[in-house]
Amino acid sequence: MKEKIRIYLIPLMVVVLMGLATLNGYYWGQAVNHTLIIKGVDNIAGGKIENKDFNTVWQVWDLIKKDYLRADTVADQDLIYGAAAGLATSLKDPYTLFLNPEESKKFNDDIKGSFVGIGAEIGYRGDFIVVIAPLKNSPAEKAGLKSGDKILELDGKSVLNVSVDDLVKKIRGPRGSFLTLTVLRNGEEKTRKIKIERDKIEVPTLDWEMKGDIAYVQLYSFNENSAKLIVDSFNSALTKGANGFVLDLRGNPGGYLEVAVGLAGIFVDNGQVVVSEEFNNGKKDEFKSRGTAVLKDFPLAILINKGSASASEILAGALRDYNNTPLVGEKSFGKGTVQELKELPDGSTLKMTVAHWILPKGDIIDGKGIEPNYPVAMPEDKDLKLDDSGRPLSDPQLDKALQVVKDLIKSHKVN
């Protein structure tokens, strides 16, 4: 009898002990931060030691803690954030970066518009950070910064190996303070030093005016007010007898994708794919037009230049692909990747490129831009004649766009 009891008790005790171990592990796991097991790293998964031995990270950590001159001032959390930032930097993607909790909060404040700076969109072109576009009436525009300017130095210090986001952080500062950018302008051999006063940035949206029977609409950004303002401007222009439109997207660095897709619905049949996002696994998300295409057949030309980026390129490309809308000016910037914010439990964020955009006919925007149907260059700065407000007295790109729309109006009337 005792032998039978012992035989039965052994499996029972094993089950109880396993249960207690499981519960203990569960509660311990809830009490501490979750741990991710990363497969494919040699000292975790086993196998041959190649160039991916994660022990290197721990060895560097250990050497810093033991031998670094000021090791007593180094916080473990800063080392962790530094390692995370290094992972993001290793991708060599200027739009991917790691933000610690403090930087994440500042970034969120910035995208809500509550920031002080110079008012210029910047991005990479080849090995240089360049000005995509200065905002209208911004400190950058008033100081003379131009689309395409290569930024070489900030306050005398080189920025050639600095990321876009790090440069943005350095450009931001107290209102009323000054910075000096050293830039190289296209077609010039000598650099320029441009002193700019930081100020609160108010992002403009839209201006419009009648030029004869053609409405000239300048859209400066794709923000949450853009759709309503552009529809209002079109309606007002129609009541004033507009027979055609010129939509000026020059110097428009983009904004909300949804706004660009929504605006496309004014010109493109409902349910058409305005743009697709393609991910690394081949998956595609399609963004389709929603609207009545009320102006589908209305004479329209779009102005673009090297300062037209992102949402500007999407709208211009979609209308070109579906309606043969003529594009006038210069090749656009070519910013066609999608960034996603991955929020982490401690308040830090990974801003990471996850997809690229594809236009309706299959063109990829990123790094290529969009070519105009009617290439028209602006005069060099030295040849420009300015009015009292510093604006060019002549605009050959706009003149060409107006002529293109006039021709479309004639053709429209004949048909």
- Give residue 133's identity as a one-letter amino acid code: A
Whole-structure pTM over 0.75, yes or no? no
Res 23: pLDDT: 39
Res 150: pLDDT: 95
Higher pLDDT, 215 or 135: 215
* The two structure tokens encoding residue 35: 């741990």
Q: What is the mean pLDDT of the chain?
A: 84
Beta carbons of 365 and 314 less than 8 angstroms apart: yes
Mean pLDDT, residues 141-163 taken together: 92
Rounded-to-integer distance, Cα 223 and Cα 253, Å: 11
Higher pLDDT, 347 or 389: 347
Catalytic residue among 138, 221, 289, 310: 310
Q: Which helix (H) or strand (E) holds 45?
A: helix 42-45
Res 68: pLDDT: 95
- Phi, psi at residue 4, to the nearest 5°? -65, -40
- CB-count exposure of residue 229 (10 Å: 0-12, 13-18, 19+): middle
Res 381: pLDDT: 58
Handedness of CA 18, 21, 22, 23 (dihedral sign): positive
Higher pLDDT, 31 or 371: 371
Q: Which of 82, 112, 114, 115 is nearest to 99 (CA)?
A: 82
pLDDT tens for residues 192-222? 999 999 998 877 789 999 999 999 999 998 8
Close Cβ partners of 56 (under 8 Å, ≥ 6 residues apart):
none
C-alpha dist (Å) from residue 19 to 26, 32, 150, 350, 412: 10, 20, 65, 38, 80
pLDDT of 239 strictly over 90:
yes
Q: Which of 306, 330, 350, 336 is nearest to 401 (CA)?
A: 330
Residue matched to tokens 């201006």: 207
Q: Specify the 3-state DSSP secondary structure of 14.
A: helix
Close Cβ partners of 108 (under 8 Å, ≥ 6 residues apart):
none
Rounded-to-integer distance, Cα 219 and Cα 334, Å: 18
Res 49: pLDDT: 43
Q: Specify the 3-state DSSP secondary structure of 242.
A: coil
What is the band of 343 on the pLDDT scale with cuts at 50, 70, 90?
A: very high
Res 413: pLDDT: 66
Which domains does the chain possess? 42-94 (no CATH), 114-200 (2.30.42.10), 206-414 (3.90.226.10)
Catalytic residue among 321, 332, 351, 400: 321
Res 110: pLDDT: 61
pLDDT tens for residues 351-410? 999 999 999 999 999 999 999 999 999 877 555 565 554 456 689 999 999 999 999 999
Beta carbons of 264 and 319 less than 8 angstroms apart: yes
What is the band of 169 on the pLDDT scale with cuts at 50, 70, 90?
A: confident
For the chain, the first-to-last Cα distance in angstroms comes to: 106
Mark whether 321 is an active-site residue: yes
Q: What percentage of the chain reaches a pLDDT higher than 70? A: 81
Catalytic residue among 146, 150, 306, 335: 335
Higher pLDDT, 104 or 214: 214
pLDDT tens for residues 11-22? 333 333 334 343
Q: Which of 285, 172, 193, 301 is nearest to 247 (CA)?
A: 301
* Phi-psi domain of 254 (left: phi exceeds 0; alpha: psi -120 through 50; beta: other): left
pLDDT tens for residues 89-98? 999 888 899 9
Res 322: pLDDT: 97
**Cα 305 from chain centroid?**
17
Rounded-to-integer distance, Cα 142 and Cα 151, Å: 17
Q: Which of 206, 396, 213, 397 is nearest to 299 (CA)?
A: 213
Mark whether 310 is an active-site residue: yes
Q: Which of 113, 124, 154, 148 is nearest to 134 (CA)?
A: 148
Q: What percentage of the chain reaches a pLDDT higher than 90? A: 60
